[in-house]
Chain A
Amino acid sequence: MRTKCAIVSVIVCGILGWMAPNCVAATGSIRYHEFRDIISAGGISSVTNNPKFPNSPDRVEFVTQFENPEGFGNHADGYGAQFVGFVHPPVSGDYRFFVASDDQSVLYLSTDEEPGHKELIAQEPQWGGFREWTGNAAYRRTGCIGDLCENVSSLVHLESGRKYYVELLFRESGGYDNASVTWQLPGDPVPTNGSPPIAGEYLSPYDVPAKIPMDEPRSIAILAGRVATFSVNITGSPPLAIQWYRDGQPILGANRSSYSFQTRGDCHGGGDNGSVFYVVASNSLAVVTSRIATLTVVVDDLPPSVVSVSASSTFDRVTVAFNELVDPTSAKDVFNYSIVDGQQHEVGLSIGEMNYDGQIVTLFLEEPGRLEPGQMYTITIAGVRDICGQGSSPETFPLQSFVEGCGEMIFEAFTPRDINVVSPPLGSYSELFYRTNIPGFDSRLAFPDDSHERYEGRMRGVFVPPFSGRWIFYLRSDDASRLWFNPNGNDPTGKQLVQEESGCCQAFEALPTQPFPLVGGRAYYIEALYRENIGGDYCQVAARLEGSTEPLVPIGRRDLGQFALSGTAGHITIVQQPQNQMVLENRLVTMTVVATNDYGGPICYQWMKDGVEIAGANGASYSLRPSACDFEQAAFSAKLSIPGETVFSAEGVLTVNEDASPPRVIGASGSENLREIDVQFDDTMTETSAGDAFNYAVTNASGNQLEVEGAALNADGRSATLSTALQQPGGLYTVTVNGVRDIGCRPHIIWDGRASFTASMLVARVALSSNTLSLSWNSRMWSVYRIQSSDHLGSNWVNSAVREIVALGTNTAANFPVNPAAPSRFYRIQLVESP
């Protein structure tokens, strides 16, 4: 019986002639691959990082609905699973997918039947209930809009008659475990919690016979002693078994898609020369053997050549990188190197050390020797041999010492443009709401706590290795994040995705990148993007040399460009220099410098007064209130820096003139609590004199004194708050000031300064609940006389049933019971001045 097909497509093939229709019928199941012994830490990556993933599952099932085989229950702990197959939409239209799992899961859907086109469409961030498609009953989902959280996809348009690759990755740590996927068909309502997952009639498993491209592996010609790597792009599902063969014999442990080994031999073309290699890949559908590749070992008669020489950010060492493995004895021999400065003075070397990769040598300077920042040196190298004994002739190379600059990167935070889109992909938030520069690769330097929610943070700048070598980066974040890096230089357009956190909160060690060979002092573009839903939020990137065991900490100022090669990340142009200014003492004045960086990175600023750095003055402008006592004239300038460059602005001269006019009282005002008076001055006053209550006198309209109990200068320096005895509501008062002085170099004193004000009127506030009438007022001189009620506003007032009240003259608040069963009523409260 031939299989029925929903659509028919015809493909022309030159050899085969007419091909069969492209069958897309569902076959009733989807593949379920289970991987046991998953580490408890980490999210989904603990599944994908497992050595058994994806080709060696512990269990394979064909489940007849999109759900784990056993459904809900506590079946096992510490395992992960991968569902792989196709969904077959019954009608064309917009679908929405829902995933519910315990613990985490991520759901991918392809734009067609190709796994390579898959996109993340929904995820379970921590855990959800069995078939809990909507809502957030367990409070483990975030970013919910109504009942739709990030476990729900956006609308996806699917065509009937086609099939779409679908994949669910799921992880179970402990306790109950379940994983299910359902969908909302076009025109259907949102599925109710508990409704069944996608049925087998819309599913088919991802079954692809083992396949190896016909031109792989490729033959290799390589110098003796180098690492040879054969690789193939094998495809297939169910899981594959892979075995490499050498000269017809299986190679023990060579069971991955690539096979590398150090070529053996005597460095003269023998050994491995002429060996042949092929690989066999098999699964339950087919066994395929690759073409045969030949290894040609070329006689090594070339000496090692120098790839780079580099100074360091510590100024105490130099690294030399060769193009091949070098003989450690000759490479570490400091007599094979000579470094001289511009005056031909030799720099002493103490010891050489081989790096982990066997191709880079670190030369340490003789103590207390130190390369001078920004200076040019010359290094001569002779006699270093490769591992085949080929030695180099003397060669000289320029060596540039690092210069001090700026080690900061840009931090930006974004909110979503459309808050109604559920679970948009990382990178889709576009509304910038915050931007600053940070001196480390750590978002905590911008947002130090967890108070920000539902945003994306981006950090970008340059990584400047302090030494040459093979550098590995490490990523950790809460929540998901991606790390990009340009291993070729500082161009942002050359960035490559080098690491990704799909879940949350793993340790640095869990997410390393591949090693990158980098030259010390050069700037390399680096960028991280992370998504915060709710709760904890951070993103950090660390770096260390391959083979290093140093603790992993976020990259700091030093390696973000504080020390770098001159000109490695653009140049600064000062557009506007600080201007000369003249100002009256104690008045606010601002010095400004305007500059651009043609690379686009952040500029660091340090303001200086007469050549001395001012602590905390690190912006493009610097504001101050100078006193004529401090200086009459000073030169202000700014030091501007970026990685690899520091420039100094011109000086702007600030002239401070003494304030010759005496201060005045320009106003006074009361407060609602009738116990405070705010006195305003036209100048900045001293804290001591303005805070002395004896310098103030307050009298009412009758000339009677009101006691001044205290005084304090306010933060603006130009007003003081007096605390007084209780003022008469609406009363007229006059404040007289004597002995308060300004902060001028030669202070002036106020004598008989006066200002009048009217005290606050009586203010009463009323709140009515079902059974209580709460009343508060601002003067103890007043008390409640009576409360009346009426069913009409403005007439028929009768004394309240609570009785007529005359409160004591000591309170400013009272509660009165009212009848909760009474119909709507109006209340009238009368207060009376206490005798």
Chain B
Amino acid sequence: MSEPLALLVYEKLLPGGQLVNQLQDRGYRVQPLADPADLGGAVQQKPMLVFMDLEPKTEQVCAAIRRLKSDPSTTHIPVIAIAPHTREELAESARAAGAKLVVFDNAILVHLDQFLEQALQLD
């Protein structure tokens, strides 16, 4: 189990989805989470980063982001929030909750490398 872990809070996720495939191609171990409430327990596995889909449970996802970022033991974990490209207001909600990088669903696969690099940079 030496591969880095990526958590995917992604209710719409289907097995074999492109995002999972591409992360696995890049050497990640991917663990999907259907319920944002499960994130608190999953982060105990020390994930490298977390992807969080803002639809459909926007409020729960933003609350989970807020908890993650307010806890000193998890605030360092990078979060990439995913918003529908037709709903910019969700991106603002995620940003206000503490997500430093919000990407739109039409860009996540095409520009995944840049997003990974950007999210994993250390301040």
Which chain B residues have a beta carbon within 8 Å of chain A's beta carbons? 3-4, 18, 21-22, 25-28, 48, 83, 85, 88, 91-92, 94-95, 99-104, 106-107, 110-118, 120-123
Contacts and interface: CB of A to CB of B under 8 A. Distances in A.
A16 B102 contact: no
A16 B101 CA distance: 17
Given A207-B107, A214-B123, A288 B26 contact: no
A16 B85 contact: no
Nearest to B25: A20
6 contacts: A16-B120, A18-B26, A282-B102, A286-B107, A286-B115, A288-B101
Please indicate which of the listed interface residues A16, A208, A284 has the most CB atoms of chain B within 10 Å of its own CB.
A16
Contacts of A19: 26, 113
A301 interface: no
B103 A214 contact: no
A718 B9 CA distance: 105
Nearest to A15: B120
Interface in A276-304: 280, 282, 284-289, 291
Given A20-B112, A287-B83, 13 more contacts: A16-B27, A16-B120, A17-B28, A18-B25, A209-B111, A209-B114, A209-B118, A211-B114, A284-B85, A284-B106, A285-B106, A286-B104, A287-B102
B72 to A, nearest CB: 16
A219 to B, nearest CB: 11
A346 interface: no
A687 to B, nearest CB: 87
A215 interface: yes
A137 interface: no
Nearest to B114: A209
Main SS of chain B's interface residues?
mixed
B101 A214 contact: no
A17 B116 CA distance: 11
A13 interface: yes
Contacts of B117: 13, 16
A291 B78 CA distance: 13
Contacts of B83: 287
Given A207-B110, A214-B121, A215-B123, A16 B116 contact: yes
Contacts, number: 82
B110 A16 contact: no
Nearest to A18: B27
Interface string A165-202: 00000000000000000000000000000000000000
B101 A20 contact: no
A20 B22 contact: yes
Interface of A: 2, 13, 15-20, 207-209, 211, 214-215, 280, 282, 284-289, 291
B20 to A, nearest CB: 13
B83 to A, nearest CB: 8
A288 B118 contact: yes
Contacts of A15: 4, 48, 120
Contact of A209 (B18, B25, B107, B121): B107
Contacts of B113: 16, 19-20
A223 B118 CA distance: 34
Closest 4 CB pairs of A and B: A17-B27, A285-B107, A214-B121, A287-B102
A19 B22 CA distance: 10
A288 B103 CA distance: 8
A284 B85 CA distance: 7
A286 B101 contact: yes
Contact of A284 (B4, B27, B100, B104): B104
Nearest to B107: A285
Nearest to B80: A286
A289 B26 contact: no
Contact of A285 (B21, B95, B111): B111
B95 A287 contact: yes
Given A16-B116, A211-B118, A291 B27 contact: no
Contacts of B114: 208-209, 211
A15 B95 CA distance: 25
Nearest to A278: B100
A12 to B, nearest CB: 11
Contact of B103 (A13, A286, A291): A286
A282 B91 contact: yes
Contacts of A20: 22, 25-26, 112-113
Nearest to A17: B27
A286 B26 contact: no
Nearest to B81: A287
A285 B104 contact: yes
B100 A288 contact: yes
A332 B111 CA distance: 59
B37 to A, nearest CB: 25
A284 B88 CA distance: 9
A209 B26 contact: no
A287 B27 contact: no
Contacts of B100: 288-289
Contact of B95 (A18, A289, A291): A289
B84 to A, nearest CB: 12
A19 B114 CA distance: 10
Given A17-B27, A19-B113, A291 B123 contact: yes
Nearest to B122: A214
Contacts of A282: 88, 91, 102
A401 to B, nearest CB: 55
Nearest to B92: A287
A255 to B, nearest CB: 16
A360 to B, nearest CB: 40
Contact of B102 (A18, A207, A215, A286): A286
A443 B18 CA distance: 63
A287 B118 CA distance: 12
A16 B116 CA distance: 8
A805 B112 CA distance: 100
A285 B103 contact: yes
Nearest to B103: A286
Contacts of B92: 287
A280 B95 contact: yes
Contacts of B111: 207-209, 285-286
Given A214-B121, A285-B107, A286-B115, A17 B101 contact: no
Contacts of B120: 15-16
A491 to B, nearest CB: 39
A294 B104 CA distance: 30
Nearest to A282: B91
Contacts of B48: 15
A17 B28 CA distance: 8
Interface centre among A19, A285, A291 (most CB of B within 10 A): A285
A33 B113 CA distance: 26
A287 B4 CA distance: 25
A263 B101 CA distance: 30
B25 A289 contact: no
Contacts of A211: 114, 118
A19 B111 CA distance: 12
A16 B118 contact: no
A425 B80 CA distance: 44
Contacts of B91: 282, 287
A282 B102 CA distance: 9
A289 B99 CA distance: 8
A280 B114 CA distance: 17
